[in-house]
Structure 1
Amino acid sequence: MAEITMIEAQKRSGRFNIYVDGHYAFPVSESVLVDFRLFKGMEVDKDLESRLAAADDVSKAYNRALDYLSNQLRTEKEVRDKLGTLEIPPETIDQTLQKLRDMSLVDDGQYAGSYVRTMMNTSDKGPRVIRQNLRQKGVGEQVIDDALKQYTPAERMTVGTAVAEKLAKRYHRQAFGTQQQKIRQGLMTRGFDSDEAGAMLESLELTPDVDEQQELLAKQGEKMWHRYRALSASERAYKTKQALYRKGFKLDDISRWLADFGESD
């Protein structure tokens, strides 16, 4: 049977060359050397050599994974995808991920919990967007559900109300109906559900500035009136009213403006 005749350290730290029967046979990492208790004089058969090669592949993939994990937490899917780009065989990736799990270096539950806390404290996103982001990172639904328990209704209300206040300032020069609609849409786009968005909007207790709204209505109305100048009087009034209603003005206010504008015109 073949026998290890020399174990030589490579210039690369943590790597060793194994010589069998006086000839170079294969390289191994320090972890493989220790795990298999390789020593000079040890007998080596083809089966052991194959197991050493597979273990060394896992060791190399493990080190590549550690490099990838060095800057931030990653999900299992992210690690699997990264190792896949390095053309590491799937079976080696599976073994590497198991080793990472055993060492608690990948843990989707821990990742999801940390991600939710970060998003709660540093972003304006609601639960739906957070869930979508975690899904894209390969986190399972139950794990996401557990992590989102941290994002309590009170926390969501605090974050969402702050978003609603910013949106109210952004759209304050819009028709009051449009302003409210855009605030609600903005909240839902950020991941809050319809009921929550309604409650956040209500909490602002917004009231229209009558003078400002009249000014906006007159400005938009005159623009629409000019746009439809080629139509008959009745059709022109209908189209103008329709356009202003779509912009969020109340029908009563539009009718009054049209009546006043018609008289002055």
Structure 2
Amino acid sequence: MATITKISAQKRKGRYNIFLDEQYAFPVSESVLIQFRLAKGLEIDAQLQAKITAAEAKAQSYQLALNYLAHQLRSEMEVRRYLKQHDVTYPVRQQVIERLHQLKLVDDANYAASYVRTMKRTSDKGPIVIQKKLQEKGIAPELILNALDLYSDGALLANGLKAAQKLAHRYRRLSFRQQQQKIRLGLRQKGYPQDLVSQLLDRLDLQKDDATEWQALVQQGRKAWRKNARYSDKQRRQKTKQQLYRKGFALLQIDRFLAEQPVETEKAGND
């Protein structure tokens, strides 16, 4: 049986070195020092030392989890994954998680609610994307549904309309039909359900403007015309017409644009 002959503080606050029979033996945290009432002159057998070692592993793992939680809220799965990445054994992970639950430092219901409130306030993401993100964090389905109830219909409509307006501005140089398609796709990708997307497009109240449509066609048409310059005049016009039609422009407008382009009779075919 060994005897504690010296206890010295480390440079790291709350950490101590234990010496047995004048020889360095092991380090402990302050919580373990207090828990086992470690003091000079205390005799330590193998069984007690094993308990101290186990308690120290738990204390260090708990502190590791606290450091991880200090920066932001985390889901239980995130904490478990973090501890595992730092080689914390499964039994110790369980003990740490139980203690964090008791202290409400890990609470998936609170995490989900906080996440939804933050996304509602700071982003234009819809409920489908939010649900997927929470699923990736390991949140249980019922907790996700409860949290999504915090996203009121009014807030969802307001955020969706802002997102739709941004998309409309981004795609303003496209044909009216393609602009609508891009807005619809963009809203779906942001996580808004199909029925709400249709409602948002109605609220957006986009109006087709012939002058704007023509300007967009000319811009897209010039790009296509230059791109197809290597073809014969007939092929060039054919390909340009097909490309503009796929972009949603009306055939009458496309024909008008092509009629304004000079005829090149000497261009060799090279399909």
TM-score by length of 2: 0.79
Structure 2: segments with no counterpart, 5+ residues: 263-271
SS of 2:184's equivalent? helix
Residue of structure 2 equivalent to 1:10:
9
Q: Which amino acid aligns with 1:113?
A: A
Tell me if structure 2 keeps the 8 A contact 1:7–1:16.
no
Letter in 2 for 1:177: R
Shift of 1:60: 0.9
CA 264–178 in structure 1, closer or farther in 2 if over 3 Å, else same: closer
Secondary structure in 2 matching 1:28: strand
Q: CA deviation at 1:39?
A: 5.9
Query: 1:228: Cα distance to partner?
Result: 8.4
1:185 aligns with 2:185: yes
Instruction: Determine whether 1:59 maps to 2:59.
Output: yes
Partner of 2:131: 131
In 1, distance between residues paired with 2:22 and 2:254?
Answer: 101
CA distance in 2, matches of 1:198, 1:128: 16
CA distance in 2, matches of 1:169, 1:26: 65
The answer (yes or no) to whether the contact 1:18–1:26 under 8 Å persists in 2 is: yes
- Partner residue, 1:149: 149
**Contact map agreement 1:116 1:130 (CA 8 A) in 2:** yes
2:255 aligns with 258
For 2:116 and 2:245, how far apart are their aligned partners in 1?
40
Q: How far is the alpha carbon of 1:150 from its aligned partner?
A: 0.9
The residue identity in structure 1 corresponding to 2:7 is E
User: Counterpart of 2:134 in 1: which secondary structure?
Assistant: helix
Q: 1:42 to 1:170 in 2, by over 3 A?
A: same
Q: Which residue of 1 aligns with 2:88?
A: 88
Which stretch has the larger CA shift, 163-172 or 75-84?
Answer: 75-84
Q: Distance in 1 between matches of 2:58 and 2:145?
A: 33
Q: Once superposed, what is the RMSD of the aligned Cα atoms? A: 3.2
Aligned partner of 2:164 in structure 1 is 164
Residue of structure 2 in register with 1:112 after alignment: 112
Name the % identity. 42
1:160, 1:263 → 2: CA distance? 41
Indicate conservation of the 8 Å contact 1:228/1:240, yes or no. Answer: no
- What is the aligned length? 260
State the Cα distance separating 1:105 from its structure 2 match: 1.3
| CA distance, structure 2, for counterparts of residue 230 and residue 25 of structure 1 | 84
Distance 1:261 1:197 in 2: 36
Mapped pair 1:122 → 2:119: no
Residue identity in the other structure for 1:255:
L
Q: TM-score, normalization: structure 1? A: 0.81
Provide, for residues 87-129 of structure 1, a one-character-per-residue CA deviation record: whole Å limited to 9, x for no partner: 3323222222222222211112211211111111011111122
Q: What is the DSSP-based 3-state SS (H/G/I as helix, E as strand, rest coil) of the residue aligned with 2:191?
A: coil
* Aligned mates of 1:6, 1:211 — CA distance in 2: 92
**Contact 2:237–2:258 at 8 Å: present in 1 too?**
no
1:18 Cα deviation from its structure 2 partner: 4.7
3-state SS of paired residue (2:185): helix
Is 1:176 aligned to 2:176, yes or no?
A: yes
User: Structure 1 CA distance, aligned partners of 2:254 and 2:28?
Assistant: 85
Task: Write the deviation string for residues 148-193 of structure 1: whole angstroms up to 9, x where unpaired.
Answer: 1111222111101011111112211210001111111111111112
Taking structure 1 as reference, are residues 96 and 222 closer, same or farther at Cα in structure 2, changes over 3 Å only?
A: closer
Whole-Å separation in 2 of the counterparts to 1:237 and 1:255:
14
Within a 5 Å distance, the mapping from 1:22-41 to structure 2 comes to 25-38=25-38
Q: Deviations over 1:206-257 (max 9, x none)?
A: 1011122133335545665773895796x8776555432310224xxx1365
Deviation at 1:201, TM superposition (A): 1.4
